[in-house]
Structure 1
């Protein structure tokens, strides 16, 4: 029982920065929507893809935060891991010189990070996200539940 309480506390501590991350990034994109939209349209994406991402990115980031803060934590952790994985892969492609145009369409202060710092930032969040998903799965097994 004590282990379960410790695991719940650890999950809350680990998921809190993820919730803050997704509220901040999604919210800042919406708060400065014209700039975000402009930066996204400067990317290498097609016009149609850019239009879809203009809405899909902030909505998916905010939705992820809501899922993480509610009883749908496991799906939230999975979506968060996918988003972080995609963003991290994109940064790796940028650093490898795969893309010619590399404007940052990130929100808030994140757009001022260099690409290497951004990669480290993402790796940190990928790590804590993976740890939280591991702890959540372990908690479910201990309680006799699974997906």
Structure 2
């Protein structure tokens, strides 16, 4: 089934909006509870040595991706960045679940209420959304639409 340009554009907009909502929510939650976030990162068996700088880089990265996703000409770059960050988060959760005896939680808000398995499924869903968005922004769309440019 081929989607016409209008439906592709709407779907890309929805995917970007979902990522914007997710990253604004997640970054805000981390920043509002920054000390708690940093302490929880320090308890991570994988990140304890890097907790201090990771506690700054993660929310800054999330908000930076939001800014890029808000720029229609840079959405492909924003989706690549969102995909990369979500793959990193998903990999971290998978490793913690399967190879760690201690499973700390450094999530905030609604995400903190999820089990680690639910959080893994949630992240996989967002990874798939980014892949769909990137596939919808094809080279043909880039050359035919001045709103979208390649990085």
Question: What's the TM-score, normalizing by structure 1?
Answer: 0.88
> In the alignment, what sits opposite 1:110?
111
Q: Give RMSD over aligned pairs.
A: 2.0
For residues 137 and 62 of structure 1, the distance between their equivalents in structure 2, rounded to whole angstroms, comes to 25
Equivalent position to 1:90, from 72, 89, 92: 92
Listed one character per residue, the Cα deviations across residues 65-91 of structure 1 (whole Å, up to 9, x for unaligned) are 111111321111111101110111111
Instruction: Please say if 1:72 is aligned against 2:74.
Output: yes
For residues 141 and 116 of structure 1, the distance between their equivalents in structure 2, rounded to whole angstroms, comes to 40
For residues 141 and 118 of structure 1, the distance between their equivalents in structure 2, rounded to whole angstroms, comes to 37
Q: Where in structure 1 are there 5+ consecutive unaligned residues?
A: none
Q: Give the paired residue count.
A: 144
For residues 146 and 51 of structure 1, the distance between their equivalents in structure 2, rounded to whole angstroms, comes to 34
For residues 38 and 31 of structure 1, the distance between their equivalents in structure 2, rounded to whole angstroms, comes to 14
For residues 95 and 54 of structure 1, the distance between their equivalents in structure 2, rounded to whole angstroms, comes to 21
Cα drift, residue 3 of structure 1: 2.4
Listed one character per residue, the Cα deviations across residues 95-143 of structure 1 (whole Å, up to 9, x for unaligned) are 21x1232211112211221011011101111111110111123521555
Contact kept? 2:77, 2:150, Cα under 8 Å: no
Cα drift, residue 38 of structure 1: 1.1
Contact kept? 1:29, 1:36, Cα under 8 Å: yes
> In the alignment, what sits opposite 2:61?
60
Please identify runs of 4+ aligned residues in structure 1 that moved more than 3 A.
141-147
